[in-house]
Structures are given as C-alpha cells and as structure tokens.
Amino acid sequence: MKPEFTALTIVAIVVFGTIAFAVTAVRRFRMDPHEYIVGSRSFGALLLWILLAGEIYTSFTFLGAAGWAYGKGAPSFYILAYGTIAYTIGYFYLPSIWRIGKERGLLTWPDLLIDRYGSRALGVAVAILQFLTTVPYVTLQLTGLQILLTIAGYGRYNATIAVSAAFILIALFVFTTGLRGAAWASVVKDSLVLLAVLFAGIYLPLHFFGSAGAMFARVTEHHPHWLSLAPATSNYGTVWYVSTVLLTSVGFFMGPANAQSIYSAKSEQTVRRNMMLMPLYQLIIIFILLAGFTALAVIPGLKGTQADQSFVLLLQRYFPSWLLGLVAGAGCLAALLPASVLLLGAASIFSKNVLTDWFGVATTDRSRLLWTRTLVLICAVLALVLWIFAKTSLVDLLLFYYNGITQLAPGILLALVWRRVSAWAVGSGLLAGELIAVYSLHRSVGPWGINPGFIALTVNLAVCVCVTLLFPRRELFIKTPVPEM
C-alpha cells in the first residue's frame, strides 16, 4: 500500500472521528447564544482546563515551536516561559474579569470595554480590530494544516485543495456545535497531541543519539552558539527575549476567543484553579523543542520557512507511514480546533458588538445565532483567501496577531484598578499602539534588540496614562464598584 494512502487515511479517521464524537457529545444542549458562545457559563475546572489547554496548544506549538528550535535555537525557549508568566498574572486579574462578566452579562472583550468606559465607539472599534486580527491567526493554522497534509501525502497531492476542504469542514463543525463541541473535541485532540509530543521528545533523541545530552552535543558540534541567547541587543538576544516574554505574557488572554473561554467558567475559583495548574501543561513544550533540536541534528540544511516542517519531515523520512498519519492527525486537530474556537470568538464579537449594538440588527436570540454562524463562514473565507494570496511564514503571522491583540491589555487591565481612565485615553493608547504594531509588521526585532510589539505596548500604556492624567474621567459611568483582587 502506498505510504501516502496509509498516512492520509489515518489522518482522515482521526479528524472525522473527533468531529463525530464532539457532535454526539453536545446533542442534548439547546443552542442559544449563551450556550453557543460561553457554554452557558457552566464549565467546571476540568472542562475549562481542557478548553484552555486546547486553545493554547495549536499549530504554532506543534510545528512552529519545533521549527524555531530548528531554525533559531535558544530564542525558542521563550515559548516555555511566556505562557507560564501569563498564567501567573492571570491568576490575579482573570477572576475579577470573570466576576464582572457574570454580574454584567458580558460575553466579549468589547462588552467589557463598553461596560467600563461607556463608549460604544470604542467597543465597535475593538470589535472590528479583533475580527481583523483573527484572520492571520486562522491563516496560521491553515498553513500548519497545509504543511501536515503535504508531508503526509508524501508530496503527491495538491495540498491547496485538501486544505480548503478540511477548512470548510471545521467551519461547519463550529457552525453546528459551538463552544462546548470544541471543548469535547479538544479532549481527543489533547490526548493525541500529548502522545505525539511525548513520543517525539522522548523517543526521537533516544532513537538517533541514545540520549538528549548526546543529541545536544551533536547540535553544538555544528552550531556552537545555538543553545544560548545572543548577547544583549543583538538580533534575538537577551533584550529580545525579555521584551518578547513580557509582551506575549501580557497579551496572552487578549484575543477574541479568550474572553469567551474565561466567561464559560462556572466560578471565580474555577478560573483560579486553572491558572495554578496550567504551567504544568507548559512542560510539554520541552518535548516539542527536543524534537526540533533532534531534527536539526539529523536533517540539517532546511532553510527559512522550511524549518517549520522539520519535525514531521523527520518522521516522514525515517518512520513508518502509519506513525506519520497518527502524528499528522494530531497536528491537524491542533490546527483545526483553535481555528474554530477563534472563528467563533471573532464572529460572536462582530455579531454582538457591531451588528446588534451598533446597527441594531440581529436582536433576537435566533437571528443573532444565525448571524454569528454566517460571520464564522465569512471570517473563514477571508482567512482562506489570505492563505491563498499571501504565503508568509508561521512566525510572521503569529507575531502580527500577538502585536495586534496585546494592545488591548492597557484598556482591559486598567479598567480593573483605575477609575479615572476614560474611553479617550484607552482609544488614543490603542491607536498609538496599533500604528506602531502595523508599522513594524515585517521586523521581528526592533531598535536595541527590543521586540517591536513591546515598544508598541509601552507607548500605548504611556499615552493612555498621560491622557488620563491630563483629562481624567469626571464622573463615574459605572455604578458597580471595581472588584478587589
């Protein structure tokens, strides 16, 4: 039997099987916007953990992390650190955000901003921004899918067609099951990804070199400075590392789907428990990094964006096709599911905050649901179009996404602690930050080695603070007091 047939059949079984499982699991729930978007706020700690973990472990973690280990070396360690810091600071501010969300019936980040700052214009602007930044993120997952299917097909099939089909499938999946379906599908996905990653990180170094130590020894033979950061202000040096870790940990929960996930929790304590335990899940990233380094030691010579393929290419060349199929299947789920959750997030935000709140359409539960589903498809198609026309690297896409969404952080975090901040302050800060983020689109390293998104965030915060000090909000719009930490 031809290897590509085996591999792709297994991928299909994995993907379709998961979808069938998830659709069955949610059959008994009635789909209204509250169920569809935030799972009726009833997810206990375990289901929430699965959802959060599922959202966070995506194509970037699966392929991109190994790709960075292969292509950059030590800078890839930031991936271990930033999530951990994000959970630590999230432990402090997310429970308060949950509580406000519950009290005020909030579903999205723009909802929170409108509630705290009283400006519909700000809410609409942020809603549009979140919808737009979702597109490159989804394209990122699509690119991951394309890589996996091409390699599982041993280069024999037109990946473009395969990706389009798979993608439409997942859009329909979200379309019918909402957030709870995605959480259940994540159960399957996380189990498979965990197995795949453990196999990759533990077995691969052992198989080729006898131990991780021996593998690293081989890496440094050919690349003596690979495993420590370049000094200070050089490209991807220590300054870059610190600024990037701070930037991405602050922006970690600011994405369109994250508000929904937090608000799906049953209680504040559920959120806290998750934050305490999630760092343990970060440890899995060690194994994917080990896989990337092993790939470097075994098949050096892949250049540029090809580095993203390194780990699966290693499997294709040295291991049987069924194994490749299983790992590729896991990777496909890792791409498809977060893409779905994000599509859902972006669509719900646009539907609620732009269409309903601003244009006054989609006011009944039923029409809102219909609009949300339509927007899922629209966003999905936009992402597909972007994929077809703009073939950039995984990293460029992710950086654009992160630089864009992190700019929300000052507005959201200050809302918890400082009553004088006005919508104008947040808006000006946001504008300044986004302008810088867009300007530095093609540079991953800014002046003095600082991450440009970090510069944008700092400027954003500075502008926001200055405007607040010069023009503090004169009257408190909101009667609900700001909660304690």
For another protein, the binding residue among 26, 37, 81, 425 (CB under 8 A) is: 81
- Which residue among 169, 195, 280, 438 contacts another protein (CB under 8 A)? 280
Nearer to another protein, 277 or 465 (CB): 277
Near another protein by CB under 8 A: residue from 189, 272, 352, 373: 272
Our CA angle for 208, 214, 215, nearest 5°, is: 55
Stretch that binds another protein, among 18-26, 242-250, 360-368, 373-381 (CB under 8 A): 242-250
| Local structure of residue 233 (DSSP, 8 states) | T
Q: What is the closest distance, in whole angstroms, from the C-beta atom of residue 198 to another protein in the complex?
A: 15
- Closest separation in Å from C-beta 289 to another protein: 8
Identify the DSSP state of 357: I
1 binds another protein (CB under 8 A): no
What DSSP line would sit under 148-201, residue for residue? Answer: HHHHHTTT-S-HHHHHHHHHHHHHHHHHHHHHHHHHHHHHHHHHHHHHHHHIII
220 binds another protein (CB under 8 A): yes
Nearest-angstrom CA–CA distance, 226 and 73: 5
| Dist. CA 255–CA 48, nearest whole Å | 17
Closest distance to another protein from the beta carbon of 445 (Å): 16
Closer to another protein by CB, 233 or 306: give it.
233
Instruction: Please work out, in degrees rounded to the nearest 5, the angle formed at the alpha carbon of residue 38 by the alpha carbons of 36 and 43.
Output: 115
CB 228 to another protein: min, Å: 5
- Cβ distance 164 to 330 under 8 Å? no
Q: Rule CB under 8 A: is residue 202 a binding residue for another protein?
A: no
Q: Which range of residues in 16-24, 234-242, 330-338, 469-477 is near another protein by CB under 8 A?
A: 234-242
Out of 275, 355, 383, 467, name the contact with another protein by CB under 8 A. Answer: 275
Residue 265's beta-bridge partner residues? Answer: 43
Subset of 367-406 contacting another protein (CB under 8 A):
none
Exactly one of 13, 121, 165, 276 binds another protein (CB under 8 A); which one? 276
How far is the C-alpha of 97 from the C-alpha of 259, rounded, in Å? 9
The one-character DSSP state at 40 is G
Closest separation in Å from C-beta 287 to another protein: 11
Contact 134, 346 (CB under 8 A): yes
- Sign, CA dihedral 82-84-87-90, equals negative
Q: In which residue are the tokens 């302050």 written?
A: 425
Torsion over CA of 70, 76, 80 and 85, rounded to 10 degrees? -170
User: Is residue 483 part of the contact set for another protein (CB under 8 A)?
Assistant: no
**Sole window of 133-141, 149-157, 208-216, 321-329 interacting with another protein (rule: CB under 8 A):** 208-216
- Of the candidate spans 25-33, 207-215, 315-323, 329-337, the one that interacts with another protein by CB under 8 A turns out to be 207-215
User: Burial, 459: exposed, middle or buried (Cβ in 10 Å; 0-12, 13-18, 19+)?
Assistant: middle
- Asked if 450 contacts 243 with a C-beta cutoff of 8 angstroms, the reply is yes
- Residues numbered 300 to 339 that lie near another protein (CB under 8 A) are none
Q: Which stretch binds another protein (CB under 8 A): 134-142, 205-213, 380-388, 461-469?
A: 205-213
Q: Which residues bind another protein (CB under 8 A)?
A: 74, 77, 80-81, 84-85, 87-89, 91-92, 211-216, 220, 225, 227-229, 231, 238-239, 241-242, 245-246, 249, 272, 275-277, 279-280, 282-283, 286, 289, 485
